Structure 1
Amino acid sequence: MLNSTVCSQVAMSGEMSLPSSVRQAKVCLIFATRGRAEVLERVVAFVDSQTVQPDMIIISCVSDEDAGKLASRPGLLVLKGQPGLTVQRNHALKHVPDDTDVVVLLDDDFLMHSRWIAEVLKTLDSDPTISCVTGAVLADGIHGPGYSVEEGQAILARADVPESLRVVSTGCPYGCNMAFRASSIAGLRFDERLVLYGWQEDRDFGGQILSRGGRLVRINTALGVHLGVKRGRVSGRKLGYSQVINPLYLVSKKTMPLRDALNHVLRNVGSNVVRSFAPEPWIDRRGRLGGNLIGLWDFVRGRLTPERAAKL
């Protein structure tokens, strides 16, 4: 488990650098997953192509079936516990080894380019004020019907890593691919009131880091593909509720600016209204809109209860 006192002191000082080339930085890679064992097995197998291998892989799941055949893989720890993205990620964070330098959190349907970990380590080592790195997503299946593993691998095979590193400060990481300096997140946890899919849990976690004075960046050299697998996702009604309540709840926590929250809510509600007349086959627009309306009514009544999504 991370030593919270020591690591927090180091993070606040802003003087944390990764180990030199004499001792390779230790990396712990975490996947939270449920109901997608076949995809997860192939995603984890693809990790073998990394030029820098993680020292440990943690699979945080709910049942034995979620991990499939991965339980027998060397260097991999399977944890079972309660369902929910934030709960499962927190469960994994409790088991990160003390000597870990970098914690990587990936969605169970995210494929990394072979240099993803190497580029992240290079970026963190270049500037001790950087707490979190998000890579460049070449294709994101979350915005469409999704990609197969073969399609994702083909996209990466055609991609060339830029020769020049470009580092851009950002207000939040993208939850499908995030890497953290371990000292920067010591003692931090994902908000477990953001149930099920978690919706905006990455923004909230990033906001906690920003409040500590950490820096969040996006780089152009850590390439990846988010397959956007639809199997295992929550119902439209539940997600629609979270689309409204979660951003407004984060405003109350001061981990999301009001303007950003309103932009999220209005954009999502507007899309669900317009597209409910001719919904995409892979999205339950009418269900989402119904959840949006329940969320708006709760907000009008002064109820900021993101955990209610689990009961809809």
Structure 2
Amino acid sequence: MTAERTSVIVCANSSDRYPQLVAAVGSVLEQSRTPAEVMVVIDHNPELWGRVARRFPDLVVLENAGPPGLSGARNTGTAGARGDIVAFLDDDAEADPGWLEALTSHFSRPEVLGVSGFAEPRWAAGRPRWWPDEFDWVVGCSYRGLPPTAEPVRNLMGCAMALRRDVVRAAGGFDTGLGRTGTGAAGCEETELCIRAAEIHPGGVFLHEPAARVHHHVPASRGTVGYFRSRCFAEGVSKRLVTRRTGAGRGLASEYTYTTRTLPAGVVRNLASALRGDPAGVLRAATIGLGLGATSVGFLATRGRRAHAAGAVAVFPSVDPVLPVVVDVCESPRPLRRAPDEGSYARAWCLLLEDGIPVGEHELALDGTEETTTDLLERLGAAGAGGVGRRTSPDRRGRTRRDATVVIATRGRPALLAECLQSIAAGTAVPDRVVVVDNARPDDETEQLVTRYRMPGSELAYVREDRPGLALAHNAALGHVETGLVAFTDDDVWVHERWLENITNAFDADPDIMCVTGMIAPRELDTLAQQWVEAQGVYSKGFRSRVFDNGEHRADSPMYPYAAGTFGSGANMAFRTDFLRTIGGFDGALGTGTVTKGGDDLAVFYDVIRHGGRLTYEPSAIVLHPHHRDYAALRRQVYGYGAGLGAHLTRCVLDEPRAVVAMLRDHRAATARLATILHPPQSRGLPAYPRDLSRAQRSGLASGPARYLLSRYGTRGPSERRVST
């Protein structure tokens, strides 16, 4: 029997999957045809190796003798195997009793080089309704588009496959530069091996045998949009690496048919399903677009440059930290913050105010003698900062604005929240009430903080919103706002002492104003990532007050008012409460914490203009924001910005189809505007802004439409908000 000449190899590296590994090995031992041997290869995990060796003393348990990763483990198993055929089963898959018999029955034909079976997903939390069958390969399973009967294929699927051992050896084994590792999700090592083997053995074939079935465990963590997108991106990176080794013709032959036939058919089928009464069909169709886009971006992201392994950390030149200071010529001297290493800053970035009004920013070389803001003012005056002279103004602290509420949405950051509350309490004006929304809370620490916190002159309210999403959290707060004005800020900012005073004064000055946004200045500039953000002007909208509406204050841009980023940012915004309720509050399908990753602030600013409201940017309403310190976090952020923008623009088109006409009419100007967003100007004095960040934002933008459709139609349900006070 062919099965009796087969060595079955199970590779594992994670102690967390030990129960699945035991089940996988158990399913091999219960096959209808007994294999020659069962081998378990442990990938650089001594603790797991010892545990498996004790659990299965009669099996061959090896340690990976090659580089870390699935390819190295498979090569180790192949080198030690005694059988003429090597069959591989994933450590989180269980084989049907007839799996090995069905898999190996074809090897009686000499032209057969390898055979793979059918992997059926076993979803731990149930199959997501938005997940299309065409993308089951994302979780290592067979997908719609594979042949329904035993037929030739270009390459095998690694979850449950068998190859002639001599074929693997002649091809030089699996490429250890491909394949999954403990930290990376790359793959395609089976594809690359099969292409090389086919070159060595002309006339040889690989078969897909649906009767050789296994059940692949899919944990709940893999049934998320985030995992779906990242795995598709990693697949694109892997495909690019394969084409570099084999050429595009062979490396993408199957993918061409998949993308031109299987995926379009899937979109049509799922939309038809939606028309027949299955609303999730729209989500599955949108997810097909998201998956294709993410895979394409992963493929293109490595073009023309050396691809880094998944999870690799980008390395950039170090820069000296810069001290950001907001200094008012009317204030009393304040001590300067020390550098992170308790040393001295070499440079300072100064936002200069005159009686609370921003008048400019200046960079200043420090000599180590500066100790207070007065020293900086003297240095700035000597450097020609406008003949600054220090004055004093009366202390107006503690005045309560009974017509104002401040809302802060937070999630698991009580220390930062406490600092934010402290800065609000220190303002020249304090709100009548502060509403803290605990969004999808991981623990009760925020509730405990709010319960014991006391803010003179203000009431503090705690609201719980269990559904994740910044817009949902803000909407939950609206039910607890009884004042005419409501301001929103983030839990990680410090508000300037004049913030609430100045943002509410803007409403007092013009009864037609429905929304006010303010300046966001840097709280830290210690790292290159933070300095890049500030240099690109992501948050600051300038030093001049600006008014926007649909009348005399229309901006001269084809993207107006759709490109709402020019209006302000969500960390610093305020509204007339009744008007905000009238326009429906915030779009719950958008925002940090949702699939769309952002765009909620852009959408609400656009809604203000669209519904006839007037919006004012008031630079004197200042908050200080801690930009992301490390590159990886910055990359995630710019991807999220792109995704949020794409989702917001999709919303504009769905709610107002004439937006498409406006954009197409002046498509060149619109394209130029998008190019400015995606490719910021060169930062003077800093290393070049990485193209990788621009690619990440472009990738996010491309994913935005599918993300918005998923979020908009996937979160529909009862409108009640789960809150508690």
CA distance 1:206–1:78, shift in 2 (3 Å)? same
Q: Note if contact 1:141-1:229 (Cα within 8 Å) is conserved in structure 2.
A: no
Aligned residue runs from structure 1 range 154-193, under 5 A: 167-170=545-548, 172-187=567-582, 188-193=584-589
State the Cα deviation string for residues 14-39 of structure 1 (Å, max 9, x = none): xxxxxxxxx95421100111132211
How far is the alpha carbon of 1:286 from its aligned partner? 6.9
Q: Which has the higher contact order (CA 8 A, sep 6+)?
A: 1
Candidates 241, 250, 275, aligned match of 2:652: 250
CA distance 1:24–1:68, shift in 2 (3 Å)? closer
Q: Distance in 2 between matches of 1:295 and 1:167?
A: 31
State the Cα deviation string for residues 190-233 of structure 1 (Å, max 9, x = none): 11111435522112112222233221001232222122357999
Amino acid at match of 1:134: T
Q: Note if contact 1:86-1:192 (Cα within 8 Å) is conserved in structure 2.
A: yes
Q: What is the TM-score of this pair, normalised by structure 1?
A: 0.67
Q: Are residues 1:223 and 2:600 paired?
A: no
Q: Which has the larger radius of gyration?
A: 2
Q: Note if contact 1:32-1:107 (Cα within 8 Å) is conserved in structure 2.
A: yes
Match of 1:84 in 2: 469
Q: Which secondary structure does the structure 2 equivalent of 1:131 belong to?
A: strand
Q: Note if contact 2:521-2:622 (Cα within 8 Å) is conserved in structure 1.
A: yes
Q: Which secondary structure does the structure 2 equivalent of 1:175 belong to?
A: coil
Tell me, which stretches of 5 or more residues in structure 2 are unaligned? 1-399, 532-542, 549-560, 562-566, 681-687, 716-725
Aligned residue runs from structure 1 range 1-312, under 5 A: 24-61=401-438, 62-63=440-441, 64-67=444-447, 69-74=449-454, 75-81=459-465, 82-97=467-482, 100-139=483-522, 145-146=529-530, 167-170=545-548, 172-187=567-582, 188-197=584-593, 199-229=598-628, 239=640, 240-254=642-656, 258=663, 266-267=675-676, 291-295=700-704, 298=706, 305=709, 307=711
State the Cα deviation string for residues 156-176 of structure 1 (Å, max 9, x = none): xxxxxxxxx963114534211
Q: Distance in 1 between matches of 2:479 and 2:711?
A: 22
Tell me, which stretches of 5 or more residues in structure 1 are unaligned? 1-22, 148-164, 280-284
Amino acid at match of 2:472: V
State the Cα deviation string for residues 259-296 of structure 1 (Å, max 9, x = none): 7986675555557xx966666xxxxx776565455457
Q: Note if contact 2:599-2:647 (Cα within 8 Å) is conserved in structure 1.
A: no
Q: Note if contact 1:245-1:306 (Cα within 8 Å) is conserved in structure 2.
A: no
Amino acid at match of 1:103: V
How far is the alpha carbon of 1:242 from its aligned partner? 3.6
**Aligned structure 1 segments of 4 or more residues deviating by more than 6 angstroms:** 140-144, 230-234
How far is the alpha carbon of 1:121 from its aligned partner? 2.1
Q: Note if contact 1:247-1:264 (Cα within 8 Å) is conserved in structure 2.
A: no
Q: Distance in 1 between matches of 2:628 and 2:447?
A: 16
Number of residue pairs the alignment of both structures matches: 258
Q: Distance in 2 between matches of 1:138 and 1:181?
A: 24
Q: Note if contact 2:427-2:499 (Cα within 8 Å) is conserved in structure 1.
A: yes
CA distance 1:135–1:242, shift in 2 (3 Å)? closer
Q: Distance in 1 between matches of 2:673 and 2:413?
A: 28
Q: Distance in 2 between matches of 1:66 and 1:254?
A: 40
Amino acid at match of 2:497: S
CA distance 1:132–1:141, shift in 2 (3 Å)? farther
CA distance 1:68–1:177, shift in 2 (3 Å)? farther
Q: Distance in 2 between matches of 1:253 and 1:201?
A: 15
Q: Note if contact 2:518-2:618 (Cα within 8 Å) is conserved in structure 1.
A: yes
Q: Which secondary structure does the structure 2 equivalent of 1:71 belong to?
A: helix
State the Cα deviation string for residues 85-114 of structure 1 (Å, max 9, x = none): 1111111112112xx021001122222211
Q: Note if contact 1:27-1:101 (Cα within 8 Å) is conserved in structure 2.
A: yes
Q: Note if contact 2:407-2:437 (Cα within 8 Å) is conserved in structure 1.
A: yes
